[in-house]
Amino acid sequence: MNMSYNNRSNEEIVSLLDDYEETINPVENALLMKERVAHYATMEEKFSFVYTTTAAYMRYVFESKNELFENDAIDACVESIAAITSTYLNIFPTIIKFISPKYTTHEHSTNVAFFAAIVANKLRFRDEKSIALIYAALVHDIGKLRIKSEILEKPSSLEEYEFENVKQHSTMGCEILRKNGITSQSVLHGVQFHHERMDGSGYPDQIKGRKIPMIARIIGMCDVFDALTTQRTFRKNYSSFQAMLLMKKEMQDQLDPQLIEIFILLHH
């Protein structure tokens, strides 16, 4: 299948992903991704194959509501993301062009993993640390498997008790990961603390500053950027430039300002 997206509209990209997901076994395709990606020639084709295959698998995970997932499939997705982002260091504009402004949990998870991988390369993380970051970024919202769909998809503002329920997803995510045999403290910290903020206004533990693990600060920043650049029921999406400007001007106290500067440099 030709996954090249040059000159495609956002609507065509969404349709491509939907059609692709209906024609393959998402678990099998994830497991075979590292082998099959070699069949594509250009950066754009390789990226779109890895992205779409990863998003399809994450869609399967979130829609199945099964807390026991295929660790090997997650590993294959993570390793493929690491490989393509380290091979093509100028891939950031390609990712921005490709991703859909439509918000879904599985595409959001995939987007955050790619953004985190690019930051890892910029910071020259060693392979093991980079893999842990990408893994945590890909599953950072896995705790939402335990949140009712009517809360996650509610078109209006959440009631206080509903928001309190949603705020538990990072802790519940760690519980699910441990249930799947994940013991890496780096991965668990990335999931547990990705909603903590530098000024202590985050959750679940209101830790602040450098006490927030670096892996969680990176995921938190990438999470915010993707949330801003995708459409929500209560607002339209920002452009990537607008989102970065907002993060730099209004979120310096919440997000790591040094990471914001690095992220902005990646956009050029």
Beta-ladder partners of 235: 232
How many angstroms separate the Cα of 245 from the Cα of each of 72, 140, 213, 250?
38, 24, 24, 8
97 is catalytic: no
- The DSSP-derived string for the chain is -----TT--HHHHHHHHHHHHHSS-HHHHHHTHHHHGGG--SHHHHHHHHHHHHHHHHHHHHHHT-S---HHHHHHHHHHHHHHHHH-TT-HHHHHHHS-SB--HHHHHHHHHHHHHHHHHHTT--HHHHHHHHHHHHTTTGGGGGS-HHHHT-SSPPPHHHHHHHTTHHHHHHHHHHHTT---HHHHHHHHTTT--TTS--SSS---GGGS-HHHHHHHHHHHHHHHTSBBTTBPPPPHHHHHHHHHHH-TTTS-HHHHHHHHHHT-
CB 190 within 8 A of CB 79: no
The residue annotated as part of the active site, out of 65, 122, 144, 211, is 144
Catalytic residue positions?
Answer: 144
